[in-house]
Structure 1
Amino acid sequence: MDLAIYAVQEATARGRVYPEAESSSGRNPWQRDRDRVIHSTAFRVLQYKTQVFVNHEGDFFRTRLTHSLEVAQIARSIARSLRLNEDLTECLALAHDLGHPPFGHAGEDALQEGMKDYNGFCHNDQSLRQVTRLEQRYVEFDGLNLTWESLEGLAKHNGPVANPDPYLKAYDQFYPMELSSYASTEAQIASISDDIAYHSHDLDDGLRAGLLQFDDLKDLPIVGEALYEARKVMQESSVSEHRSNRLRHEMNRRVIDVLVSDLKKQTLLNIQELQPQNADDIRYAQTGIVQFSPEVGHANQMIRQFLYKNLYHHWRVNRMSRKGRMLVQELFGVLSTNTDLLPKEWQVRLEKAQEKKKKSGAMRVVADYIAGMTDRYAMEEYQRLTDLAIST
């Protein structure tokens, strides 16, 4: 496909930290990046990490893995329609949650609390650590040796970085990513596709779990209209509303269609106004180029607020989250004060960190170890360390 002039181009790619020969199979740099992400340990274990519902709560709820695949599908379709670099977009969508700890945001909150005196914890920064240091698959280097463009997109998943983590600062000095600027159009698409995916699909999971009811949604912008149209189609097709799975899916795909269609239209308007001549014109723009229209952007915020109030803080979800938070807190407490309990390979990492005579390095090793756990492994490790089981 003929790429737009503002797309990330192979001819102007900035390369990798450790130079490598071109792929013998003819893959471009971002196809290689995508494949490395897919084959990474961190990507594989996303299958057993919480999205909203703990993995063992049910076989049909989203996990971090299925969420990442859904983000990639949405992001790639948007990139294709805007004539952007699909492979880079897909890579970033698949990699954006590689640093997420077990038990979703409850686990992240627990690690943030444990690491508050040691530069904190953020799953976005952890994703960068995962692909630059923690993955150990290659003889020549640690990490996955992804391209500059992929690393930039991960570092700026939420936009320009105002107060970067020390690891981001160090990496920026070593391999400059200009953290105060925006990322590429492709990275911006991957980021906003994350919102589209989890808003629409968390509604679906909430309905499936019985924590939300269809009538709760009828006044919610975009969602209410989609629900009305879905019910209308079912009535015209003489399908009973008791077939709630069909109603959910029909509503959900309409929500995604409205959000994606509006995003593409508004982004094209923004591009026409900016008239970028290359990818750097996107990076150094005064604002992000990939946006919803004001009306849909406001509606999207209302969907977010609804989900926080009615799903993420539902008493049943709160119970699951509390157990996950407590478990991660306990694991961090035990392992940070008894680092000799870490597995052998992590003892090696610990020794390297302690050579610098900084406690923050040792605490970071503990956080790295816990962040890489699945929900199930974290529960098993907790039981091994305490002889106490967490009931599910």
Structure 2
Amino acid sequence: DLGHTPFGHAGQDAMDEVMQTFGSHFEHNEQSFRVLHELEEKSDEYRGINLSFEVLDGLLKHRTRYDHPACSDHLMPSLEAQIVNIADEIAYQSHDIDDGLRSGILTGEGLMDLDIWKYAAADKMPSNVPEIRKYQMVTSIISLLVNNLASNTNKKLQKLGINTTADIYAHDGQIAQFSDEVSQMAVQLKDYLYTHFYSAKEVMKYNDEGKKVITGLFRVLHEKPENLPEKYHAQLDQEERHIVVKDYIAGMTDIYAMDLYAKLAK
């Protein structure tokens, strides 16, 4: 997520809409590649960070429910990249459950409709303290997904007779996977979060505010590039202004973007 805009996927959508007005587009995995391959300055001998092909290739082929790979050739990602894709989903879904419960948008009673939540509830004797019980449940879900992914992927490697990196690239299909039972649980969880959390009015309102900040900040900085930090001024001599503004905003946090927009929009 090095190239992710503030405000998550809502911010990415807003930036993409802005960039399309310049005949371009925005996709955060491509931006991450740009950060690592071009923008970071770690040496006088080369631009970017001197990372391996496998790391950069995995980055460009990163795929989740909300991401589409920037590189779509016929070769599968490395095994490490496949695992990272799934680990990313495990991480943000567990955080989103936590955020949903903390905000009151999700409830333990509602989550009991999910097979994976029922599993977590039966996994160990839950605490009587709500905060501890919530932590135990989320931890149990993470453990189930991680352990199942490792176990099932190892079984698949043995079954397919895969021994080398070349075998992985040549194999036509995903190797790192959950078992069928746990995969169904994971899909059910994704769908539930989409319906009951990501589409909740409170979340949608925050996303709309984030889009407003992204588009407003872009407009102000594009009209008055003197507000860009000094390090971006030299870049203006080499690249089009909308590219430079995009690079700057894509590196911000939510809070930084909101504070800067409030300051510049006065």
Larger RCO, structures 1/2 (Cα 8 Å, 6+ apart): 2
Amino acid at match of 2:144: V
Which one of 119, 139, 154 corresponds to residue 225 of structure 1? 119
Deviations 1:154-209 (A, max 9, x none): 111129xxx975xx6xxxxxxxxx84311211111111111111222311221122
1:290 maps to: 176
The RMSD of aligned alpha carbons is: 2.1
Distance in 2, Cα, partners of 1:207 & 1:247:
11
1:104 maps to: 8
Deviations 1:213-240 (A, max 9, x none): 100111102122212444xx13xxxx52
Deviations 1:274-332 (A, max 9, x none): 21231011012100110112222122111011111111222222222111110101112
1:375 maps to: 254
Gaps of 5+ in 1: 1-96, 169-177, 354-360, 388-392
2:264 maps to: 385
Which one of 237, 240, 259 corresponds to residue 351 of structure 1? 237
Instruction: Determine if the alignment matches structure 1 residue 256 to structure 2 residue 142.
Output: yes
Name the count of aligned residue pairs.
262
Distance in 2, Cα, partners of 1:164 & 1:261:
26
Q: Percent identity?
A: 39
Distance in 2, Cα, partners of 1:378 & 1:229:
42
Amino acid at match of 1:247: R
Q: Which secondary structure state, in structure 2, belongs to the residue aligned with residue 352 of structure 1?
A: coil
Distance in 2, Cα, partners of 1:134 & 1:285:
34
1:216 maps to: 110
Amino acid at match of 1:123: H
Report if the CA contact (8 A) 2:117-2:137 is conserved: yes
1:269 maps to: 155
Which one of 143, 149, 153 corresponds to residue 54 of structure 2? 149
Report if the CA contact (8 A) 2:76-2:171 is conserved: yes
Instruction: Determine if the alignment matches structure 1 residue 325 to structure 2 residue 211.
Output: yes
1:265 CA drift (Å):
2.5
Matches within 5 A, 1:152-163: 152-158=57-63
Q: Please identify which structure carries the higher helix content.
A: 2
1:69 maps to: none
- 4+ aligned runs moved over 4 Å, structure 1: none
Report if the CA contact (8 A) 1:184-1:280 is conserved: no
1:119 maps to: 24
What is the TM-score when the length of structure 2 is the normalising length?
0.90
Report if the CA contact (8 A) 2:3-2:250 is conserved: yes
What is the TM-score when the length of structure 1 is the normalising length?
0.63
Distance in 1, Cα, partners of 2:89 & 2:250:
22
2:201 maps to: 315
Report if the CA contact (8 A) 1:156-1:179 is conserved: no
1:340 CA drift (Å):
4.4
Deviations 1:343-367 (A, max 9, x none): 33212112101xxxxxxx4322211
Distance in 1, Cα, partners of 2:149 & 2:246:
37
1:204 maps to: 98
Amino acid at match of 1:277: N
